[in-house]
């Protein structure tokens, strides 16, 4: 296959806030997403991460929660029990949004670190919609991307060890949409970064 015939990828930065370490016993309470950029055979083009976004707060799926995990987001589980979007409606709306913004491209979820957010996102997509617009493996971990480009062992990487020019100037607030936008900027900076040899 010639490189010119490869379908472009649309990178979507996703951040979730949850009340525990794994989905099922614990709940995803909010989901934020922002289009980071598009890559084709000619390269990567960043997007304005505030232009195409998605955000929902979800109704919890269980009574279990870890107080320390819940405290990180500051979300009110009792309020979400009545005001949160039912998970099926939230994930169907999210899937529709992903398909709309990625028209003509293959969507790729990206996160920092992707492992936590992807675990919740994929479980919720399959559990509540039966499918994932990203497929079963359409995710990219920004921490791994940085480690590979910088030639560093993965476990030595943290945002504090990255060059300042790669980091967003936005604050990390633990609000899922704020953090998805912040991490979309990190994603674009990483994609365009050419470390010195």
Average pLDDT, the chain: 94
pTM exceeds 0.75? yes
Percent of the chain with pLDDT over 70: 97
Active-site residue 174, yes or no? yes
pLDDT digits (tens, 9 = 90+) for 94-126: 999 999 999 999 999 999 999 999 999 999 999
Question: What is the pLDDT confidence band of residue 76, given thresholds at 50, 70 and 90?
Answer: very high
Q: In this structure, are residues 17 and 176 in contact, taking their beta carbons and an 8 Å threshold? A: yes
Residue 22 per-residue DSSP state: S
Residue 191 is predicted with a pLDDT of: 97
Given a cut of 60, whether residue 4 has pLDDT beyond it is: no
Taking alpha carbons only, the member of 37, 113, 30 closest to residue 79 is 30
Question: What is the pLDDT confidence band of residue 5, given thresholds at 50, 70 and 90?
Answer: confident
pLDDT digits (tens, 9 = 90+) for 148-164: 999 999 999 999 889 99
Question: What is the pLDDT confidence band of residue 91, given thresholds at 50, 70 and 90?
Answer: very high
Among 136, 172, 174, 175, the active-site one is: 174
Angstrom CA distances, 66 to 20, 57, 79, 88, 109, stand at: 5, 18, 17, 23, 26
């Amino acid at each position: 296959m010639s490189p010119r015939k490869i379908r472009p990828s649309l990178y979507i930065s996703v951040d979730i806030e949850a009340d525990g370490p794994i989905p099922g016993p614990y709940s995803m309470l909010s989901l934020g997403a922002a289009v980071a950029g598009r890559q084709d055979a000619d390269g990567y083009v960043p997007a304005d991460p505030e232009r195409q976004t998605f955000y929902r707060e979800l109704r919890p799926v269980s009574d279990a929660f870890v107080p320390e995990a819940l405290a990180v987001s500051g979300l009110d589980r009792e309020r979400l029990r009545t005001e949160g979007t039912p998970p099926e409606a939230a994930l169907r709306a999210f899937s529709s949004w992903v398909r709309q913004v990625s028209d003509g491209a293959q969507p790729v979820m990206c996160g920092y670190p992707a492992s936590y957010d992807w675990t919740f996102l994929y479980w919720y997509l399959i559990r509540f919609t039966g499918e994932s617009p990203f497929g079963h493996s359409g995710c990219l971990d920004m921490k791994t991307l940085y480690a590979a480009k910088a030639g560093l062992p993965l476990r030595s990487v943290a945002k504090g060890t990255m060059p300042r020019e790669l980091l967003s100037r936005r604050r990390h607030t633990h609000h899922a949409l704020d953090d998805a936008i912040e991490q979309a900027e990190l994603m674009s900076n990483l994609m365009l970064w050419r470390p010195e040899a």
